[in-house]
Amino acid sequence: MLAIVGIVIVLGAVIGGFLMEKGHMLVLLQPAELLIIAGAATGTLLVANPMHIVKGIVAGLLGVLKGSSFDRKRYLNTLKMMYQFLNKVRKEGLLSVEMDVEKPQESSIFKNYPEFLNDHHARDFVCDTLRTAITGGVEPFDMDQMMELDMEVHHHGEALPIAALSTVADALPGLGIVAAVLGVVITMGSLGGPPEEIGEKVAAALVGTFLGILLCYGVVGPLAANMTKTADEHNEYLHVLRVLVLAFLKGSAPMIAIEMGRRAIPAHVRPSFDEMEKNCKGAAASVETAAAA
């Protein structure tokens, strides 16, 4: 949501300043210039990238426009979910959660946390790790190496759409020049006409350069930068899960493992120890009450 506000401010400031200088708004409305720039940018994107990266760009842009989901509430819910899960393992053994990790959508624990289930990367990251632990014979160090490798591969995959969109942003000023040159070509064919007509065509040509630079530095470039931060936030979320799960596999009690996970949460969204303890133990009490009933 903040990205939308930012784009509106950029466009409002540019257009507002233009109008304050007695500019005519209709001069900036050049559909042909916009078609040349946007169409060429889309074409270069399709030429340079396979379809899965194009889909990644679309998904990333939608995520940026919706805003970050990795807030304090998301982390608190994750800690509560993992505390319930680890408590079940401590009391009933690893085999008791085999069906939870095999079919997380049907799990009595995971199904109460739709954000986790909908985040298929995080869901698979946790379930695949625990599935491997259930099979046995894997040392915690090797498990840590597997989780780190999984995170590296995922982060690299998220970086590809960002790099592709950044390349398009870098190309936009050049495409704006292309549109401007075409406008100049048209203008040269009208040199014998009235001065007013020549002036309009020159203005239209210059708008092409203006649009290319504005879209690069005011819209597409910042969106790519925001996508980078979103990818980093997701990687930080996976890191918290990694620290938490590994601590438990090394023999830490559930609450200690949860506390280690809490310490790995970025400072600006990290809940306090009291918040975490109250949240987790309150959830555990409600689960025990439901089980007794």
Q: What is the pTM of this model?
A: 0.87
| pLDDT at residue 191 greater than cutoff 80 | no
- As a whole-number percent, the residues of the chain with pLDDT over 70 amount to 96
pLDDT of residue 225 exceeding 50, the answer is yes
Q: 192 pLDDT exceeds 50? A: yes
> Is the pLDDT score of 293 beyond 70?
no
Per-residue model confidence (pLDDT) at position 284: 54
- Residue 291 confidence (pLDDT): 46
Angle between helices 31-48 and 195-214 (to 10 degrees): 40
Please answer whether residues 217 and 102 qualify as being in contact, where contact means their C-beta atoms are separated by less than 8 angstroms.
no
- Between 191 and 234, whose confidence is greater? 234
Q: Where are the alpha helices (DSSP H) in the chain?
A: 2-20, 25-28, 31-48, 51-66, 72-92, 98-102, 114-118, 120-135, 140-188, 195-214, 221-249, 254-263, 273-292
Q: Which residues, including other chains, have CB under 8 Å from residue 144's CB and lie 6 or more apart?
A: 242, 246
